[in-house]
Amino acid sequence: MKIQLFTQRECAKCPPAKEIVNQLNTEHGIDMVEFDVETVDGMAEAAYYGILSTPSVVLVDGVGDEIISWRGVSPDKAKIVSLLRENQ
């Protein structure tokens, strides 16, 4: 599993979401990739997952298929930890 975090520079809600994702990376070793939706690559990835607001967090499986997402809000850390435990 991997977390994809979609942010933008002027997003007031993005720093708390980024902190949660960083904690998940540090505490549970889950890979994460951050996309700035103001860049071409970030916009392309956001379009693929239908991201229309930031912050958005998409938990994906090994082939990039969406498992669960939080759009326009910070992710539920407990839910992600639970999913990690279920899939170990």
> Would you say 32 and 21 are in contact if contact means Cβ atoms under 8 Å apart?
yes
pTM of the model: 0.91
Q: What is the mean pLDDT of residues 35-61?
A: 95
For the cut 70, the answer to whether the pLDDT of residue 88 exceeds it is no
Q: Which residue has the tokens 């669960």?
A: 68
The domain of 70 spans 2-13+29-86
Quick check: is 21 in a domain? no
**Element (H or E) spanning 44, and its range?**
helix 40-49
Q: What is the mean pLDDT of residues 33-49?
A: 96
- CATH number of the structural domain spanning residue 56: 3.40.30.10
**pLDDT tens digits, 67-77:** 999 999 989 89
Q: What total of structural domains would you count in the chain?
A: 1
Quick check: is 64 in a domain? yes
